[in-house]
């Protein structure tokens, strides 16, 4: 099969379109169970469907959200009126996406490190997802920072898997989100975050080139450069923004249409402020947007947990976060927006 370059490029550009970003609602059932139980809700296919469905049916979401990443279970579920979620999203102009990795598993020979799995049978799964309406996919590699970590073995194994995944996606006409996530947990200073992120990205772009991946037809999902959460010296919003852009300028080719950042456990406000500061600086060859999970989902989840029947307040909370981050994506976010909950 030869890939349709034009379609891939158009989809990738639509994913990072002006004023919009991506909702990562692709928590695995295990992760979603943790999130639901933390707010006192039993995790069942129905409760997971209910919560995802309220976000997907929020009126006005499509003004700020270009695409939604789903987990396999959600991708096959339907809204209350029986419309499959991918079809429902597409009908309001939101691109349906699917997480296709099968998780980060212990990397043999490298205690404490992981390699993300899911390549076996991927071609077949992608073709089914495409039939069901998937326009893009996600694969998350996880790189932790510690005293002797990450190792070259871990960085290389993950980069190779990401490149194989990306090539298979493009063959299927699906845009791959390439996510080499350097975790923000740890005691490391921001310098170390920069060093590790740059090394991981260099390896990823080398492997992508080797596997003949069309860079115009991917979206990169990177971490921002932060000091580890347990580092006594935290960087300011401006420093995070400047250091992140400076690092990426050195290692991310200009052919990539956009960077859609993960939030990685930052507070909702910080995730918005950092994205805003990067867009305010600008002057980079790629779009800079969000592909947030927690920084979009945590607030509505908390509201919904208090009342799972009347969903309007939870939808307002979701729309509010989407609006704040969409503003940040254009460099127009101000902290006072946080107090203007949408009516």
Contact window for ligand 13P (CB under 6 A) among 190-198, 199-207, 261-269, 313-321: 261-269
DSSP symbols for 225-240: ----TT-SSPPPHHHH
Q: Which H/E stretch holds residue 137?
A: strand 136-143
Nearest approach, Cβ of 283 to ligand 13P (angstroms)?
A: 25
- 27 close to 138: Cβ distance less than 8 angstroms: no
Between residue 17 and residue 36, which ones bind ligand 13P under the rule CB under 6 A? Answer: 24
Angle, vertex CA 249, rays to CA 242 and CA 324, nearest 5? 50
The reply to whether 221 belongs to the active site is: yes
Terminal alpha carbon distance of the chain = 49
Does residue 161 bind ligand 13P (CB under 6 A)? no
Residue with token string 């260099």: 202
DSSP symbols for 101-115: ---EEEPTTSTT-EE
Question: Any idea what DSSP says for residue 175?
Answer: E
d(CA 26, CA 181): 15
Between residue 292 and residue 321, which ones bind ligand 13P under the rule CB under 6 A? Answer: 292-295
Contact window for ligand 13P (CB under 6 A) among 119-127, 145-153, 289-297, 326-334: 289-297
Measured in degrees and rounded to the nearest 5, phi and psi for residue 119 equal -75, -35
Q: State the residue number with the nearest CB to ligand 13P.
A: 293
Contact window for ligand 13P (CB under 6 A) among 124-132, 187-195, 200-208, 262-270: 262-270
Between residue 166 and residue 205, which ones bind ligand 13P under the rule CB under 6 A? Answer: 179
With respect to ligand 13P, which residue has the nearer C-beta, 3 or 271?
Answer: 271
Nearest approach, Cβ of 295 to ligand 13P (angstroms)?
A: 5
Q: Which of 179, 181, 194, 287 is catalytic?
A: 179
Q: Which chain residues interact with ligand 13P by CB under 6 A?
A: 24, 140, 179, 262-264, 292-295
Catalytic residues: 179, 221
């Amino acid at each position: 099969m030869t890939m349709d370059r034009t379609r891939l490029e158009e989809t990738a550009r639509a994913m990072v379109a002006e004023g919009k970003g991506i909702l990562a609602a692709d928590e695995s059932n295990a992760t979603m169970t943790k999130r639901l139980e933390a707010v006192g809700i039993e995790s069942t296919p129905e409760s997971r469907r209910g919560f995802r469905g309220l976000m997907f049916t929020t009126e006005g979401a499509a003004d700020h959200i270009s695409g939604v990443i789903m987990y396999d279970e959600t991708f096959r579920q339907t809204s209350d009126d029986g419309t499959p979620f991918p079809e429902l999203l597409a009908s309001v102009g939101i691109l349906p996406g699917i997480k296709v990795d099968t998780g980060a598993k212990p990397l043999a020979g490298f205690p404490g490190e992981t390699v993300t799995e899911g390549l076996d049978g991927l071609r077949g799964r992608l073709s089914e997802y495409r039939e069901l309406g998937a326009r893009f996919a996600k694969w998350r590699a996880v790189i932790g920072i510690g005293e002797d970590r990450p190792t070259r073995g871990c960085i290389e194994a993950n980069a190779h898997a990401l490149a194989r995944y990306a090539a298979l996606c493009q063959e299927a006409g699906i845009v791959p989100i390439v996510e080499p996530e350097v975790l923000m947990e740890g005691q490391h200073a921001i310098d170390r975050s920069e060093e590790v992120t740059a090394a991981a990205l260099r390896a990823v772009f080398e492997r992508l080139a080797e596997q003949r991946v069309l860079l115009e037809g991917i979206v990169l999902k990177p971490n921002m450069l932060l000091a580890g959460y347990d580092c006594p010296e935290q960087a300011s919003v401006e420093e995070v923004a400047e250091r992140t852009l400076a690092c990426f300028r050195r290692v991310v080719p200009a052919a990539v249409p956009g960077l859609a950042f993960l939030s990685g456990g930052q507070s909702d406000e910080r995730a918005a402020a950092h994205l805003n500061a990067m867009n305010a600086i600008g002057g980079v060859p790629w779009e800079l947007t969000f592909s947030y999970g927690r920084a979009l989902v945590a607030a509505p989840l908390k509201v919904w947990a208090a009342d799972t029947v009347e969903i309007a307040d939870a939808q307002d909370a979701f729309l509010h976060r989407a609006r704040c981050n969409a503003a940040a994506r254009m460099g127009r976010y101000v902290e006072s927006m946080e107090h203007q909950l949408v009516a």
